[in-house]
């Protein structure tokens, strides 16, 4: 049977794998040889499930959005990842990885962050487990995302300003990888999305797959069927999307819709619409679609939402795109901001701007009245209040 | 599967036959100035170094420390790119007889086209390649045949963390030398090697590998050069050379080489 999951070497079709320098080999090979055995063990599952339930607050609700449904003439459900502890889906992954790091005997945690959501989620689980945490963050983002920097510091993490390259998410990911090269024995790198060398994309997708696992059960209860017609999510690196799609990947009757950030427009030169603008290449140890020059230099993306501001996408999504299994949309800053405002006005939920991108799809394509849509509401908008204030002059 | 013995000896092989410690220099193409690639090579040859790694700059050099990151960024800003480097090297073999190895990250090679890249390398007279983020397994599965077809020697890295079994596997797949990364680190100059590194140098030497080893990362002066080449065949200097180059330019090269050899 055709599968959209990773094969044993971490390839999704021709995408994925582990294109890493030898310095990372022992760590990555160690992870690769042990992650499945650890994750699938009953002991691990018990701890993981327990924390998701009592610490993160899972299962998150699947909420029927009546007014939004009425406006767009279809049946819309919202998977409320915004209600997770720390305000986004990111924590599902960091809980899983911190438990894994403990099983691997690692004593020091590093992470990269753009807007700070993954940084906060990592700092949170490190506080929970009493492990030292270093978060790499671009100089520019540290200034822009002061509240999240403060949260990480309160949680006891060290926030390190990355000075290399253009000092944004792709560069801080390089910095985190360099740290790992320099600390190969005691350190675990908690990557924040379904990116990086195998086994990270598959591992992060498995931790996030709790999202679609819950959707199946909740939908069965609410609609008498376990699958929607469409599952819709925004894609930066693609972890919330991977989690929402996971149990539907190989069920082709379920439409998969991925929404990327077009920034100021796909062809404006200021965009993060990787599927539209990218070509196959290697970024952060993975073969995937990425934005680059003809010469193979990785270029700087742009989006109003820092969480979608990444020049690549996870290999799972590159495969969904090129195989035609996924339907990809690009949404501009303005469309996303309007969609965020609409969700707030109609449903009383202020989404993260990343998430707002997904909702803009409702204006982009028609759905039938009987269609059941599940939107992954990946995060809440508290962190983005200043951007909303500036954009709408509130 | 020791191909080292069955293949004809290329310039790298000839250099490795020499007595005494071998000095190899890494520099970033197009740095400090875009047109410095050839002048740097000329001065290196005149100074008597044994081998050269020409670095292809990349936007995201994740195995490199600050010095090589900066030289890469500067070279790209200067306008360096793959096609231009081949253009600069078009007639290099009329005057440079040193073994030349191109060192870079895999993405620019992939975008150029692996076969086209290898063909160009062979045309201009490149002897070998170091592509740190192209792992052995993927090289063997997909690209080994192409690189061999164009007579290019592929050089793989080992580190203090590399298992003995994997070192043997890498040795079996190599046909020039093994690039021995001195310590668990990104590239960058250091003042001296401690007992831990020296033990590692000895451990590798005692493995009696088929391919000679050349130590890289952290070699910066006569002391570290001597320590590294006590057991290994040679050593590669990158960051320290680039620092010197940014301060004194290509004309400062003979003085630099002299301090290392002293
Ligand atoms: C709320 C929210 N959604 C989505 C993303 C994008 O990441 P991913 O594509 O991995 O889900 C982020 C990243 O920071 C986020 O904070």
Q: Is residue B14 part of a domain?
A: no
pLDDT tens per residue, range A367-391: 999 999 999 999 999 999 999 999 9
What whole-number distance in Å separates Cα of residue A160 and Cα of residue A168?
Answer: 13
Average pLDDT across chain A, whole number? 96
Domains identified in chain A, total number? 2
What whole-number distance in Å separates Cα of residue A286 and Cα of residue A16?
Answer: 5
CA A114 to ligand 1 centroid distance, Å: 10
Q: Is residue A12 part of a domain?
A: no
Residues B176 and B128: beta-carbon distance below 8 Å: yes
pLDDT tens per residue, range B30-51: 999 999 999 999 999 999 999 9
What whole-number distance in Å separates Cα of residue B234 and Cα of residue B211?
Answer: 12
pLDDT tens per residue, range A44-68: 999 999 999 999 999 999 999 999 9
Q: Which of residues 54-83 of B touch A (CB under 8 A)?
A: 58-66, 69, 73, 76, 81-83
Q: Is residue A72 part of a domain?
A: yes
Q: Is the pLDDT assigned to residue B141 strictly greater than 70?
A: yes
pLDDT tens per residue, range A169-178: 899 999 999 9
The whole-number pLDDT of residue B6 equals 41
Instruction: Name the residue among B109, B111, B138 with its Cβ closest to that of A292.
Output: B111
User: Could you write out the DSSP letters of every residue in A5-17?
Assistant: S--TTSEETTEE-
The whole-number pLDDT of residue B5 equals 39
| Beta-carbon count within 10 A of A267 CB | 11
Q: Is residue A15 part of a domain?
A: no
Q: What is the CATH number of the domain that holds B31?
A: 3.20.20.70
Domain end marker among A163, A180, A203: A203
The whole-number pLDDT of residue B184 equals 84
The whole-number pLDDT of residue A160 equals 96
Residues A124 and A86: beta-carbon distance below 8 Å: yes
Whether residues A26 and A136 fall in one domain: yes
**A164 belongs to the catalytic site:** no
pLDDT tens per residue, range B174-187: 999 999 999 888 88
Q: Is residue A2 part of a domain?
A: no
Contacts of B208 (CB under 8 A, 6+ apart): none
Q: Is residue A6 part of a domain?
A: no
Whether residues A84 and A94 fall in one domain: no
Domain end marker among A170, A188, A203: A203
Task: Report the gap between the CA of B138 and the closest CA in chain A (Å).
Answer: 8
**Closest-CA residue of chain A to B73:** A165
Domain end marker among A203, A218, A244: A203
User: Higher confidence at residue B189 or residue B253?
Assistant: B253
Instruction: Supply the range of the domain harboring residue A322.
Output: 59-88+209-392
Residues A281 and B111: beta-carbon distance below 8 Å: yes
Q: Contact A174/B62, CB-based, under 8 Å?
A: yes
pLDDT-based confidence at residue A1 (cuts at 50, 70, 90) = low
Domains identified in chain B, total number? 1
User: Please, what is the Cα angle at A175 between A172 and A181, to 5 degrees?
Assistant: 150
Q: Is residue B4 part of a domain?
A: no
The three-state secondary structure class of A275 is helix
**What is the predicted ipTM?**
0.94
Half-sphere exposure (Cβ direction) of A253: Cα atoms closer than 13 Å: 6
Q: Is the pLDDT assigned to residue B211 strictly greater than 70?
A: yes
Q: Is residue B161 part of a domain?
A: yes
| Beta-carbon count within 10 A of B9 CB | 12
The whole-number pLDDT of residue A89 equals 98
Which residue among the candidates A79, A106, A112, A170 is catalytic per the annotation?
A112
Total-model pTM: 0.96
CA-nearest of A285, A48, A73 to A189 is A285
pLDDT-based confidence at residue B74 (cuts at 50, 70, 90) = very high
Q: Is the pLDDT assigned to residue B8 strictly greater than 70?
A: no
The whole-number pLDDT of residue B14 equals 95
Q: Any chain A CB within 8 A of the CB of B150? A: no
Q: Is the pLDDT assigned to residue A76 strictly greater than 60?
A: yes
pLDDT tens per residue, range B224-240: 999 999 999 999 999 99
Whether residues A131 and A270 fall in one domain: no
pLDDT-based confidence at residue B4 (cuts at 50, 70, 90) = very low
Whether residues A35 and A73 fall in one domain: no
Q: Could you tell me the CA-to-CA distances from B230 to A190, A191, B155, B167, B227 in Å, in that order?
A: 39, 40, 21, 20, 5
Residues B223 and B194: beta-carbon distance below 8 Å: no
Q: Is the pLDDT assigned to residue B7 strictly greater than 50?
A: no
Q: What is the CATH number of the domain that holds A34?
A: 3.40.50.1100
Label the pairing between strands A187-189 and A108-113.
parallel
- Percentage of residues in chain A having pLDDT higher than 90: 93
**Cis before residue A56, ω within 30 degrees of 0?**
no
Residue A194 alpha carbon, nearest atom of ligand 1: 10
Average pLDDT over residues B159-173: 97
Average pLDDT over residues A136-152: 88
Q: Is the pLDDT assigned to residue B9 strictly greater than 80?
A: no
Q: What is the CA radius of gyration of chain B?
A: 17
Q: Is residue B13 part of a domain?
A: no
pLDDT tens per residue, range A267-280: 999 999 999 999 99
Average pLDDT over residues B1-9: 44
CA-nearest of A339, A337, A388 to A360 is A339
Average pLDDT across chain B, whole number? 94
CA A115 to ligand 1 centroid distance, Å: 9
Q: Is the pLDDT assigned to residue B3 strictly greater than 70?
A: no
CA-nearest of B195, B180, B189 to B229 is B180
Average pLDDT over residues B85-102: 98
Average pLDDT over residues A78-92: 98
Q: Is the pLDDT assigned to residue B1 strictly greater than 50?
A: no
């Amino acid at each position: 049977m055709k599968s959209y999951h990773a094969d044993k070497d971490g390839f999704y079709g021709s995408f994925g794998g582990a294109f890493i320098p030898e310095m990372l080999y022992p760590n990555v090979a160690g992870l690769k040889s042990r992650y499945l055995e650890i994750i699938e063990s009953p002991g691990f599952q018990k701890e993981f499930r327990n924390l998701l339930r009592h610490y993160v607050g899972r299962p998150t609700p699947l909420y029927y959005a009546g007014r939004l449904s009425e406006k767009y003439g279809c049946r819309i459900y919202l998977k409320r990842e915004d209600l997770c502890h720390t305000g986004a889906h990111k924590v599902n992954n960091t809980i899983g990885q911190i438990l894994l790091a403990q099983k691997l005997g690692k004593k020091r945690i590093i992470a990269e962050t753009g807007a700070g959501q993954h940084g906060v989620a990592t700092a949170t689980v490190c506080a929970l487990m009493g492990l030292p945490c270093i978060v790499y963050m671009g100089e520019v983002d540290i200034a822009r995302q002061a509240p999240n920097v403060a949260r990480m510091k309160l949680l006891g993490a060290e926030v390190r300003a990355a000075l290399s390259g253009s000092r944004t998410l792709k560069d801080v990911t390089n910095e985190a990888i360099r740290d790992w090269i320099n600390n190969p024995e005691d350190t675990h790198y908690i990557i924040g999305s379904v990116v990086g060398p195998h086994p990270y994309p598959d591992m992060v997708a498995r931790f996030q797959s709790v999202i679609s696992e819950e959707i199946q059960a909740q939908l069965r209860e609410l609609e008498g069927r376990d699958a929607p017609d469409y599952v819709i999510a925004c894609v930066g690196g693609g972890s919330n999307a991977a989690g929402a799609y996971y149990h539907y990947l190989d069920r082709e009757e379920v439409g998969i819709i991925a929404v990327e950030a077009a920034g100021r427009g796909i062809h404006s030169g200021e965009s993060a619409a990787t599927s539209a603008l990218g070509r196959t290449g290697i970024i952060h140890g993975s073969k995937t679609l990425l934005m680059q020059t003809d010469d193979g230099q990785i270029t700087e993306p742009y989006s109003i939402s820092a969480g979608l501001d990444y020049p690549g996408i996870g290999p799972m999504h590159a495969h969904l795109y090129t195989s035609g299994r996924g339907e990809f949309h690009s949404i501009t800053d303005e469309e996303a901001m309007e969609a965020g405002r609409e969700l707030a006005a109609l449903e009383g939920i202020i989404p993260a701007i990343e998430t707002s991108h997904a909702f803009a799809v409702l204006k982009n394509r028609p759905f039938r009245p009987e269609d059941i849509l599940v939107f992954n509401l990946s995060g809440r908008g508290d962190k983005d209040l200043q951007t909303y204030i500036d954009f709408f002059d509130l | 599967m020791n191909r080292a013995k069955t293949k004809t000896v290329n310039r790298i092989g000839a250099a490795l036959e020499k007595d005494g410690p071998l000095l190899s220099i890494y520099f970033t193409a197009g740095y400090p100035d875009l047109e410095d690639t050839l002048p740097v090579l000329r001065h290196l040859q005149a100074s008597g170094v044994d081998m050269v790694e020409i670095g292809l700059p990349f936007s995201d050099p994740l195995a490199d420390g600050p010095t090589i990151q900066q030289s890469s960024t500067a070279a790209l800003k200067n306008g360096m790119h793959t096609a231009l480097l081949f253009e600069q090297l078009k007639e290099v073999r009329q005057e440079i007889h040193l073994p030349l190895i191109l060192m870079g990250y895999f993405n620019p090679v992939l975008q150029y086209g692996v076969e086209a890249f290898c063909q160009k390398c062979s045309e201009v007279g490149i002897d070998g390649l170091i592509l740190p983020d192209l792992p052995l397994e993927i090289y063997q599965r997909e690209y080994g045949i192409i690189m061999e077809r164009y007579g290019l020697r592929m050089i793989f890295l080992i580190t203090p963390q590399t298992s003995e079994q994997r070192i043997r596997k890498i040795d079996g797949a190599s046909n020039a030398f093994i690039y021995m990364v001195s310590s668990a680190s990104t590239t960058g100059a250091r003042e001296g090697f401690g007992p831990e590194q020296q033990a590692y140098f000895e451990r590798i030497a005692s493995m009696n590998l088929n391919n000679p080893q050349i130590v890289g990362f952290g070699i910066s002066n006569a002391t570290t050069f001597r320590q590294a080449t006590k057991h290994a065949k040679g050593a590669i200097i990158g960051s320290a050379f680039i620092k010197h180059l940014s301060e004194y330019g290509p004309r400062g090269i003979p003085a630099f080489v002299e301090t290392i050899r002293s």
